[in-house]
Chains A and B, each alone.
Chain A
Amino acid sequence: MPQVLIADDNPLARRRLESAVRKWKYDVVLASDGNEAWSCLRGPEAPRLAILDWHMPGLSGIEICQRVRDQGGDRYPFLILLTNRTDRDSLIEGLTSGADDYVRQPFDADELEQRLRTGRRIVELQDRLLTTQAILQVQATHDALTGVLNRGEILRRLDRELTSGAGPLAVMLVDIDHFKLVNDRYGHLAGDVVLKRVADGIAANVRETDAVGRYGGEEFLVLLPGASGADVAHVAERVRSGVAQGSSTQAGQLPASVSIGWAQCVVRNPSGGAELIHRADEALYRAKGDGRDCVRAAKEEEA
């Protein structure tokens, strides 16, 4: 049931509004002055519909409208000003302050019900847009198969870390061993299961502050901000052993192992992303050369 804030300092007027609005199947939140109304509209779970008396102790209805609009935020509240002012200038002043609608006192119940319904349609429409936007945002930044970040997003985050972060930053390249063989022998569906299983294994074994992305076909890039060399080595080993548990596919239990190369920069260089990845890639190449299913660190960065 949608929630409506009713803010009026007059107990009679407030009770009359409350009775009407409840009858129209809304939940009601009451405020008896402007400050109470404003604190109610500031919260993350604030009502999306509000009926505000123009004149109230503390903050007036128009001051609240201005503050709500200045506050911004994604969740747009629909604000109705209630007043017995009837002149054109007041109407314009009210709407200029950020009110969406304007109802004159004493209110006509049928009219107010319809105006409230209009507000409800608008906030519901906006909610649907926000939901769609959130879905599109996930689709635009995540790999559809594995659910980890996609290549574009993990590289954007690497740039962001190098530009605005502080302290050491490490990157880890994780490559599935003999992945081509899995695809050739068991088919691409089995390959997809292995990819998903490995991605889950990586995500489950890194720290909360780390970011995991699919960098290439069977290669994943992990960002480890603020991690010491010992931390990175520890996380890398945990990832390696964590994903080497095998994957259950239609073709049966498939063994999966990964090789990992990592590199770290102590001082962040905004244009150093490619170099950092290149060093991790060289370390990965050594891990492959050393028989796979192991972790190798890059050589110390050059001063």
Chain B
Amino acid sequence: MENLAALPVWNRSQSLANADHDPEFWQELLTIWDSQRSQLASELRYALDSRDLKAAAMAAHTLKGSFTVLAAERAQEVARSLEMTLHAGREPLAQETALLWEEMNRLQEELISRADDLGRLLATGIAEVRA
């Protein structure tokens, strides 16, 4: 796994670039994430509890895809590492999965703490976003 401490929890500018620098579309993507994150986490938890490594790998893969779009680089790296472990047919260690939940929480806190920032961007439009 890459050095997590060197990665940002959330790469805001990359996240906006992934939304084609469109603040409204950016907000839409964040809303989709907000509505899907609990379910995706539950799917992974359930697969791990059932020791269904294939389903767990798929769930980790899906989470990684979401983190990629959001540019949540730390969570993305943790999910990638977890997916590789599962694809290799190994059960992950408890601390590996705990790390993922931790990074998801950290991402959530980051997004909440930037909520005002997001609102301002939506109000002022693309020019300021790019500034």
Contacts and interface: CB of A to CB of B under 8 A. Distances in A.
B19 interface: yes
Contacts of B18: 16, 106
B69 A9 contact: no
B58 A55 contact: yes
B64 to A, nearest CB: 8
Nearest to B62: A10
Contacts of A55: 58, 61
B29 A12 contact: yes
Nearest to B33: A12
A233 B16 CA distance: 79
Nearest to B64: A84
A16 B18 CA distance: 8
B32 interface: yes
B110 interface: no
A10 B65 contact: yes
A11 B20 contact: no
A8 interface: yes
Contact of B25 (A8, A13, A19, A106): A19
A207 interface: no
Contacts of A84: 64-65, 68, 80
A53 B65 CA distance: 10
Interface in B28-53: 28-29, 32-33, 36
A109 interface: yes
B62 A9 contact: yes
Nearest to A16: B69
Interface residues of A, number: 18
B65 A105 contact: yes
A16 B70 contact: no
A8 B29 CA distance: 15
Contacts of B33: 12
B58 A12 contact: no
Contacts of A8: 65
B81 interface: no
A13 B69 contact: yes
Given A12-B29, A12-B32, A57 B58 contact: yes
A178 interface: no
B32 A11 contact: yes
Interface string A19-35: 11001000000000000
Given A55-B58, A57-B58, A12 B20 contact: no
Nearest to A13: B65
A57 B20 CA distance: 28
A12 B66 contact: yes
Interface in A1-57: 8-13, 15-16, 19-20, 23, 53, 55, 57
B39 to A, nearest CB: 10
Interface in A82-138: 84, 105-106, 109
Contacts of A105: 65, 68
Contacts of A57: 58
Contacts of B32: 11-12, 15
6 contacts: A9-B62, A16-B29, A57-B58, A105-B68, A106-B68, A109-B20
Instruction: Give the top 6 A-B pairs by smallest Cβ distance, nearest first.
Output: A10-B65, A12-B69, A13-B65, A12-B66, A55-B61, A106-B68
Given A9-B62, A16-B29, 16 more contacts: A8-B65, A10-B62, A10-B65, A11-B32, A12-B33, A12-B36, A12-B65, A13-B65, A16-B19, A55-B58, A55-B61, A57-B58, A84-B65, A84-B68, A105-B68, A106-B68
